[in-house]
Chain A
Amino acid sequence: MSTAAAAHDDHHHHAPTGLKRWLFSTNHKDIGTLYLWFSFIMFLVGGLLAMVIRTELLEPGMQFVDPEFFNQMTTVHGLAMVFGAVMPGFVGFANWMIPLMIGAPDMALPRMNNWSFWILPFAFLILLSSVFMSAFGAGHPSAPNFGWTFYAPLSTEYGPASTDLFILSVHMMGISSIMGAINVIVTVFNLRAPGMTLMKMPLFVWTWLITAFLLIAVMPVLAGAVTMMLTDRHFGTSFFSAAGGGDPVLFQHVFWFFGHPEVYIMILPAFGIVSSIIPTFARKQLFGYASMVYATASIALLSFVVWAHHMFTVGMPLAGTLFFMYMTMLISVPTGVKVFNWVATMWRGSMTFELPMKWAIAFVILFTCGGLSGLMLAITPVDFQYHDTYFVVAHFHYVLVTGAVFSMFAAAYYWLPKWSGVMPNKLLGELHFWSSLLSVNLLFFPMHFVGLAGMPRRYADYALQFADYNFWISIGGFWFGLSQLFFLAVCLLCAMKKGEKAAARPWDGAEGLEWEVPSPAPFHTFETPPVVK
């Protein structure tokens, strides 16, 4: 590298071109774009796996896939969506927007940023290759088939050979996430423009700062969990085997110590996005900015002491069960603060309903539904009834699809003008929104009913009385899946710069540094820091 010599001249003024631009990038915008496309592709891949699940469940009885393959579909669908679609998606938004929002020239550690990204495609190549080999009958007979939570002993004693590849790919995803999170924290702490005090930061930056803290705290614990799996599988250790003095339930504790903060990792940035969008289209300041910050921090701290609510049925001592139940219910307080603040922001605002706002309002309503079913699940005796039924599936799809994913759609429509310089196509956008909104509820709402009636999750077949609901759930699923093609079209049109040209501030109520730079945002922004009053 001739960096030492080259960097003395006025470097950076020409954008690199061709393949090198993307492969060797140190530019937060390009890396953000890579993350976002990767996330969208994984969303489609995970969606296809879900289509297989819904095809099999369209009718009772076994029609299309064998149960063994069905288990692989539920497992890899979950893993692809959580680790491939939602997490990298939010990292993409963080990459694009955090430097623009705090007046920084880039992320603090740009090369590490690129490394965080490029680990991901390889990690998923490892994970998904086992699905293809399984589907086409080559190599490993089975992809991971133990559910996305990979409980021991399903994943240890009974895990297929591909489990070891899965373990290593989880390690890679963890390395990627930790480096990405370190980058976000350091950027926020060290690269804010003069005058951008912590309590002036946009909430998206705040929520990501706290998310990054959670990532650094829990991804290593996940690494510990899969490491114990690996040594139990191959080196004779007894972590998850009671015969050797260990305990399969230990796996669940370690996993959910990671897993519960993980679900907030997937929702806190969504809170930040919605908190940016609602004030813009209500044309009012965000109601209760400081309380939003404190609520986010409280949710994050509480997330470390609620993990065992995922495992009420394993037979914990009563004191433990009660502790985790009350702590879980406590989370509804800061979450309630947020929901009320969003509603209060809209109250008597001059509201308009452009696409980002539509998604944001849908988020507030539907995420609240998911939150309320979560509150039901938090009640231990009631959870005994709901545990491992479709009620749980309904709950976490409401918070993750109509929560996290809807917020990402909102964010994409909100910031696409800034990224691409053109407005997203309105007609396609409207079709995408309404089609998704109707289908997603057809897809997930009836799951509450079949769940309450006792239909267990992760089975390839079901009792006859669930047939009608499942038919409509599947129809909703295919419809929702196909609706995303509208979004693909919207994104491709923007990428090809086809559409109405966007102003620097395309939304008239929008505030923040990102709207001070032209649309599309130039390759380098804020090379000298702006001054924030």
Chain B
Amino acid sequence: MATEKYYVPESSPWPLAASVGLFMTAVGGAHFIQQSTAPDKFEGSWGMPLFFFGLATLWLVIAIWWRDTIKESVGGLHSKQLGISYRQGMLWFIFSEVMFFGAFFGALFYTRWLIVPWLGGAGSNAMTHELLWPNFQAMWPLIKTPDGTTTQAMGAWGLPAINTAILLTSSVTLTIAHHALLEGKRGRLIGFQAATVLLGAIFLGLQAWEYHHAYVEMGLTLHAGIYGSLFFLLTGFHGAHVTIGTIFLFVTLLRVIKGHFDAENNFAWEAGAWYWHFVDVVWLFLFVVVYWL
């Protein structure tokens, strides 16, 4: 490696184009949200088309960008060192994702251990309780908020437990696929990776069903106070990550079928696998602290 010439990629229009896409997504997104949640205050409906146009641009540009990168990789241009850079970059990206979830888990613990007891008069907050909401009772899950909104708690041992089993199984199938990749057994690789993608899709379907159940039958919504807020943002962002992970694994599956990747050259494949395991671990935490305890 010491004497190997470094690989520096050619200049490329895609970073700038992706920035323009992101810009349109952001401006459109802000107005889309405003115009759809408060149509009386925000006139017009141009936010939505701009948002989706921006998003489509962003994804298209990224797809082309990565197609270029894949071509360079398959063309043998990438040095071993670049592969290491990619791997390290992916690990740090996953670390940033961990911290993103950390913000919401932190909010959950702070709410559960401090805010709710304090609102109920714990510690030195007897007067807060007495003066603000004397009828409020501290509990978790918070099924009755200080202003009297009621909801129901999502139990752990129905759908969520099944979903836990599904995600754990998907991690196993993915690991079998990984071994198959390293041993060059294509048939087994394709089979088990397809199974993983399928399990991911089933998980998402069940999650959607659970949301429907929560909204329609349980009165558990984003408006249902802090329990609903935390429940939906934590599980929702997790679900969004499962979606991305499923797409990621689906794309690498297509690439496997095209004949990309081998035991040595498999960064994108492993990055997808790492991402999947990360999403899996987040779910285990979610299952324990959001659903179960």
A110, B9: Cβ atoms under 8 Å?
yes
Is there a chain B Cβ closer than 8 Å to A52's Cβ?
no
Is there a chain A Cβ closer than 8 Å to B258's Cβ?
no
Is there a chain B Cβ closer than 8 Å to A533's Cβ?
no
Is there a chain A Cβ closer than 8 Å to B119's Cβ?
yes
Contacts of B134 in A (CB 8 A): none
Q: Within the complex, which residue of B18, B37, B77, B145 is in contact with A244, where a contact is CB–CB below 8 Å? A: B145
| Docked pose: A60 CA to B27 CA in angstroms | 39
| Docked pose: A257 CA to B107 CA in angstroms | 11
List the A residue with the shortest CB-CB distance to B110.
Answer: A250
Within 8 A of A (CB), among B10-30: 10-16, 18-20, 22-23, 26-27, 29-30
Q: A172-B22, A218-B99, A243-B147 are in contact. Are A529 and B2 (CB under 8 A)?
A: yes
Interface residues of B, CB < 8 Å — how many? 78
Q: Within the complex, which residue of B5, B89, B116 is in contact with A245, where a contact is CB–CB below 8 Å? A: B116
| Docked pose: A168 CA to B33 CA in angstroms | 11
B11, A185: Cβ atoms under 8 Å?
no
Q: Which of B160-168, B170-178, B183-191, B220-228 contacts A (4 or more CB under 8 A)?
A: B220-228
List the A residue with the shortest CB-CB distance to B104.
Answer: A224
In the complex, what's the smallest C-beta–C-beta distance from B75 to chain A, in angstroms? Answer: 4
| Docked pose: A190 CA to B147 CA in angstroms | 55
A317, B103: Cβ atoms under 8 Å?
no
Within 8 A of B (CB), among A155-187: 161, 164-165, 167-169, 171-172, 175, 178, 181-183, 185-187
Contacts of B33 in A (CB 8 A): 164, 230, 234
| Docked pose: A27 CA to B85 CA in angstroms | 17
List the B residue with the shortest CB-CB distance to A531.
Answer: B2
Contacts of A225 in B (CB 8 A): 103
B85, A234: Cβ atoms under 8 Å?
no
Q: Which of A117-125, A415-423, A481-489 contacts B (4 or more CB under 8 A)?
A: A117-125
Is there a chain A Cβ closer than 8 Å to B53's Cβ?
no
| Docked pose: A97 CA to B38 CA in angstroms | 48
List the A residue with the shortest CB-CB distance to B92.
Answer: A182
Is there a chain A Cβ closer than 8 Å to B6's Cβ?
yes
A223, B100: Cβ atoms under 8 Å?
yes
Is there a chain A Cβ closer than 8 Å to B123's Cβ?
yes
Is there a chain B Cβ closer than 8 Å to A268's Cβ?
no
Contacts of B102 in A (CB 8 A): 220-221, 224
Q: A106-B8, A111-B12, A125-B23 are in contact. Are A237 and B104 (CB under 8 A)?
A: no
Is there a chain B Cβ closer than 8 Å to A393's Cβ?
no
A221, B19: Cβ atoms under 8 Å?
no
| Docked pose: A228 CA to B222 CA in angstroms | 12
Q: A185-B88, A221-B103, A245-B119 are in contact. Are A216 and B6 (CB under 8 A)?
A: no
Contacts of B19 in A (CB 8 A): 115, 118-119, 121-122
Q: Give me the interface of B with A, judged by CB distance under 8 Å.
A: 2-3, 5-6, 8-16, 18-20, 22-23, 26-27, 29-31, 33-34, 37-38, 41-42, 65, 68, 71-72, 75, 77, 81-82, 84-86, 88-89, 92-93, 95-97, 99-100, 102-104, 106-107, 110-111, 115-116, 119, 123-124, 132, 142, 145-147, 149, 221-223, 225-230, 232-233
User: 10 additional contacts, CB 8 Å, given A26-B8, A220-B96, A250-B110?
Assistant: A3-B9, A7-B10, A24-B15, A24-B16, A106-B6, A111-B14, A112-B89, A114-B16, A231-B222, A242-B132
Q: Give me the interface of A with B, judged by CB distance under 8 Å.
A: 1, 3-4, 6-8, 11-12, 16, 20-21, 23-27, 104-106, 108-112, 114-115, 118-119, 121-123, 125-126, 161, 164-165, 167-169, 171-172, 175, 178, 181-183, 185-187, 189-191, 194, 216-221, 223-225, 227-228, 230-231, 234-239, 242-247, 250, 253-254, 257, 317, 524, 526-529
List 8 tightest A-B contacts by C-beta distance, closest first.
A224-B103, A237-B229, A115-B15, A245-B226, A220-B100, A236-B223, A168-B26, A122-B23
Cβ contacts A to B, 19 pairs, < 8 Å:
A1-B71, A4-B75, A12-B8, A24-B15, A119-B19, A122-B23, A161-B41, A186-B89, A190-B81, A216-B99, A220-B97, A223-B103, A224-B102, A238-B226, A244-B145, A245-B225, A246-B229, A247-B110, A247-B115
